[in-house]
Structure 1
């Protein structure tokens, strides 16, 4: 079954790459990514456990449904071309980005707010490091109330700072690469926020997003003349090298070593998915979309007590919460290889509706990603590029979870829709 997935992803990647002439469209990107993940898992290095046939069947159905949805959206983009032809002044792909961005002042205010919210967490982390704790211990304690800032700042951190961080990163990258006038305050604040998040949580994800999105934007607009001057290119190389050094050093501090850590990060989700599936199917309780979109529902559930509604959350939400809590529990995916959390996005679709849930969830997710790509490819605006870079963040972590189940990712897209799409605070 794993060979079928590898062969399918390879064929679809080659077709999509030939059709789009780039690797960052969702079909090429997703197929190549899952080709690598399944291939590495199939090698079963470091005594990695073998996944069940059902696991590979779910991955096969999920990847094919996603790729079908995204590729069909891209394939029928001719109607989008005709639509945008009547709404643009010329055929220059980057002409709409030649002007200065509108609304950077509002973005700068958001960055200042996020920066201020992160300061207590950064200070606390520095104190913990000074007392002798390692980054691994800080990461383990990141969600512990014993070590976390409480009260209003904790609410602002979860509901404001973390979601806005995911929006600030692509906006800062566009300012660094596309905009002629650089907003150095925004760039410095965003970089500080990324460092603050890494130090206070031990999470490398923001550094990873920064590096990948920076590379993607350069590839997306590599034909634009004078995109980057010599100093900017040197600066980007230095940032990229620093990110690689930091991530490698962090991985090397683990007991398993950098090689095993990187390998299990990429491929460990497949045997872990197999383990969690076996447990779920022993007492299956399907949640009909609640688990996949728990991140959008949770904010409303959390404010019920403040409204005087103390009856507790709905049973369906409680069930989905138990499912996600179990995902976070540690299992062994190999000889001495402890693992948790990473179960792929397909697990969330499965617990919501069995194989039909995998088909429907993956298909519509592919259509959503394909449509966002088309708008960026044909008529690039700053808002459309920010949205697509945020979607790339989701695809990069598709071996972890369906990120709309996470309150931070879900709110970041909600804030994008409110602040950038509806209120048009940045364009």
Structure 2
């Protein structure tokens, strides 16, 4: 079965490259990612444990369902944003720009919070502690970083600070390539990233910005359809900027990863992109034994948690709804309960992949329905970004594509920070400045 899944992934990579004009599209990235995962999983290096044939069959069904949903929207759904005039049919195009003042205010609040965190971990840094140790402190709820935090502070961090930092990366990227390249916004984001890396050892925010800059870049410099790339001064400058971004971002990511992983860098990187089938199998068995079915609560956990968190604290309720909390607890267990993935002692958490959340919601039918709907969402946002070419539409597409890129870890909609970031981008981050009609 693993050979069939691998051949399917390779085949779909070629098909998606042929059918999609943009290289950074959901279908190509999804199948490239899972080609790597399935291929590395097959090698079973560093004594990685083997997943069953049934697990690979489930993965193949999920990927197939995503493809069907994706091409259904791309084939049958058309853009209805047009108006009728006496002489012609014109398309209505809304022009958006970021709410810069709002971004400055929230960004300033984020900087203050991270400066406070820096004051706590600064003594460890001055003593020569590595990012690995800082990360351990950040992941330990009983560490000095969390001592003395009030309920209000925790709420602000959960509902505002962390989601905003995640949302800021595609906003800055879209503004850089399609907006006014606001210097205050760029400097503020760089400062936030530096503080975030120093205070909790996180590397992913660097990867987020790099990803979104590359995604937004592909929508610049063309009107529609395929165009030949000419060696103009503008295109060379654009290529140079992209090259510098890749070099700086890649180097920063490498150094922070090396600081945390040390001599085990290669082995850890292999596990990151190979253990998903076995981790899915472990946790799907746990789901079966627990007899819990989410019925959509697992895949929408991020949105549900944000809503219930506000309601519970606003009304002063003692407990969350029991059934939802059982789903939430099981999802949390994938991060807190470590499982043996290789040999007899190598353990890992998370990395259950996107398929596990849909499996929790409805087993194999949950995967089929969930992945098909997810494929439709990805296709629709991709189409809008291609059609509208506004900073807002590209920012929305970019944050959705981020979910595809990290599908090897989890379904991003189940994460509260990602869910709130999506809501922030959709509702608060942009304002409509004008509408134009074009043929």
- Show the counterpart of 1:409: 418
Contact kept, 8 Å, 2:175 with 2:391, in 1: the verdict is no
**Structure 1 residue 391, shift from structure 2 partner:** 0.7
Match of 1:184 in 2: 183
- The offset of 1:406, in angstroms, is 1.1
Determine which structure has the larger strand proportion and give its number.
2
CA distance in 1, matches of 2:433, 2:154: 26
**2:316 paired with 1:320:** no
Unaligned runs of 5+ in 2: 224-229
SS at match of 2:249: helix
Q: Quick one: structure 1 residues 178 and 424, their matched pair in 2 at CA, closer, same or farther if it must change by over 3 Å?
A: closer
- Alignment CA distance shift 1:240-1:114 (3 Å): same
Match of 2:72 in 1: 72
Q: CA deviation at 1:102?
A: 5.8
Residue 57 in 1 paired to residue 65 in 2? no
In the superposition, the TM-score normalised over structure 2's length comes to 0.86
Shift of 1:309: 5.0
Query: Does the C-alpha gap of structure 1 residues 190 and 232 become closer, same or farther in structure 2, counting only changes over 3 Å?
Result: farther
* Cα deviations by residue, 1:341-369 (Å, 9 ceiling, x for unpaired): 11001101111111111111111111011
Matches within 5 A, 1:214-233: 214-221=213-220, 223=222
Superposition deviation, residue 145 in structure 1: 3.9
The answer to whether the 8 A contact 1:251-1:257 is kept is: no
Deviates more, 1:129-138 or 1:185-194: 129-138
Aligned with residue 391 of structure 1, among 400, 404, 414: 400
Shift of the 415–304 alpha-carbon distance from structure 1 to 2, 3 Å rule, reads same
Aligned partners of 1:218 and 1:113: how far apart in 2? 29
TM-score if structure 1 supplies the norm length?
Answer: 0.88
Q: Secondary structure at the match of 2:218?
A: helix
Contact 1:103 1:425 survives alignment (8 Å)? no
Please give the per-residue CA displacement for 1:165-217, whole angstroms capped at 9, x wherever unaligned.
122111211232233x4311110001111222222222211111111222222
Partner Cα separation in structure 2 for residue 86 and residue 112 of structure 1: 45
Q: Determine if the alignment matches structure 1 residue 380 to structure 2 residue 386.
A: no
Query: How big is the shift at 1:83?
Result: 4.7
Q: Which residue of 2 aligns with 1:33?
A: 33
**Other-structure match for 2:342:** 334
1:301-380 mapped onto 2 (5 Å cutoff): 301-308=308-315, 310-328=317-335, 329-335=337-343, 336-380=345-389
- Measured on the aligned residues, the alpha-carbon RMSD in Å equals 2.9
Q: Which has the higher contact order (CA 8 A, sep 6+)?
A: 2
Q: Is the 8 A contact 2:96 2:392 kept in 1?
A: no
Q: Aligned to 1:286, what secondary structure does the other structure show?
A: coil
Counting only pairs closer than 5 Å after superposition, residues 98-177 of structure 1 correspond to structure 2 as 101=97, 103-143=99-139, 144-149=141-146, 150-151=149-150, 152-177=152-177
CA–CA distance in structure 2, aligned partners of residues 164 and 59 of structure 1: 32
